[in-house]
């Protein structure tokens, strides 16, 4: 999808696609329900912490490190092997995203660079900046054609311009586009999936839809499965109205499943079982 369309507010135009309004409304009702839970009024910090952990686990699973939640919870060393490093990167990104909310609307490219730096946790000169011509991309689980560095630069600028300009589009639409565009572009040499999902999380929180970060979409994306995730991404990359609407609906369903996860945590806390 080109982020420099003819309409003044292309994100809002996506919100008018058939079926998108229904997805937006379904997500809003689900979020309202969990925020209205009695446990949220007393122990929202506990729900936020648990959602962060479960969201990190879900994002890592989609990047090839599908660990049990209790394994993520008990581990302290995330440097032992490739899977451990993926899980560690997901945990760091979830923690970092909340610190970048105030910067996102003014400088989204700076935030994306910071997210990559945090995920990579290394000092190479390819870290924390968009990839350059000829640099390989380590994202084996996304097998779409890879845009060249010039296209990446132009589309990132277009995405940043849309975010800075603001939009009347619902938060779900903006979050889905940010997520989908970053996966389609894979602008960094590594960790693009983790960064894309962290950026989606950041939009959902910063928009006010999920200000306490208790609706981890990453949980839902993992639960829906990698095959479904990649099929929906194909729809986004196609740029067709039907494909775009299907991707937004997929992201909406992921948020709803994240809500379900946190609702279950609320219920467990209410029973004194967690």
Q: What is the pLDDT of residue 186?
A: 97
Specify the 3-state DSSP secondary structure of 213: coil
Task: Please give the Cα distance from 89 to 184 (Å, whole number).
Answer: 20
Both tokens assigned to 66: 């599908």
* Tokens 């910063």 belong to residue: 206
Task: Please give the Cα distance from 85 to 208 (Å, whole number).
Answer: 31
Long-range contacts of 63-71 (CB under 8 A, 24+ apart): 63/90, 63/141, 63/191, 63/193, 63/194, 64/140, 64/141, 65/90, 66/222
pLDDT digits (tens, 9 = 90+) for 172-183: 999 999 999 999
The Cα-based distances of 199 to 43, 134, 217 in angstroms read: 26, 25, 11
Q: What is the pLDDT of residue 46?
A: 96
Q: What is the pLDDT of residue 123?
A: 76
Q: What is the pLDDT of residue 141?
A: 86
Query: Torsion angle, CA of 116/153/13/31, rounded to 10 degrees?
Result: 0
Residues of the chain with pLDDT under 50: 1-4, 274
Tell me the whole-structure pTM to 2 decimals: 0.95
Q: What is the pLDDT of residue 7?
A: 64
pLDDT digits (tens, 9 = 90+) for 50-108: 999 999 999 999 999 999 999 999 998 998 899 999 999 999 999 999 899 999 999 99
The secondary structure of residue 138, as a DSSP letter, is: B
């Amino acid at each position: 999808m080109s982020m420099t369309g003819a309409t003044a507010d292309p994100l809002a135009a996506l919100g008018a696609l058939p079926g998108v309004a229904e997805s937006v409304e379904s997500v809003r009702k689900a979020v309202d329900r969990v925020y209205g839970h009695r446990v949220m009024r007393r122990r929202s910090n506990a729900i936020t912490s648990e959602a962060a952990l479960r969201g990190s686990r879900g994002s890592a699973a989609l990047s090839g490190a599908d660990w049990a939640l209790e394994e993520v919870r008990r581990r302290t060393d995330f440097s032992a092997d490739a899977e451990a490093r993926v899980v560690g990167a997901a945990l760091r990104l979830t923690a970092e995203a909340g610190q970048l909310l105030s910067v996102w609307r003014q400088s989204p490219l700076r935030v994306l660079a910071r997210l990559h730096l945090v995920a990579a946790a290394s000092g190479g000169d390819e870290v924390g900046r968009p990839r350059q011509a000829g640099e390989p991309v380590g994202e084996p689980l996304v097998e779409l054609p890879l845009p060249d560095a010039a296209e990446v630069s132009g589309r990132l600028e277009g995405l940043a311009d849309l975010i800075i300009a603001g939009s009347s589009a619902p938060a779900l639409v903006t979050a889905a586009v940010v997520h989908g565009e970053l996966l389609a572009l894979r602008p960094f040499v590594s960790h693009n999936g983790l960064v894309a999902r962290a950026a989606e999380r950041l939009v959902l929180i910063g928009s006010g839809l999920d200000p306490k970060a208790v609706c981890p979409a990453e949980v839902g994306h993992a639960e829906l499965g990698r095959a479904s995730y990649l099929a929906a991404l194909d729809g986004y990359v196609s740029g067709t109205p039907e494909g775009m609407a299907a991707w937004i609906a997929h992201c909406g369903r992921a948020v709803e499943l994240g809500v379900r996860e946190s609702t279950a945590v609320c219920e467990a806390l209410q029973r004194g079982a967690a």
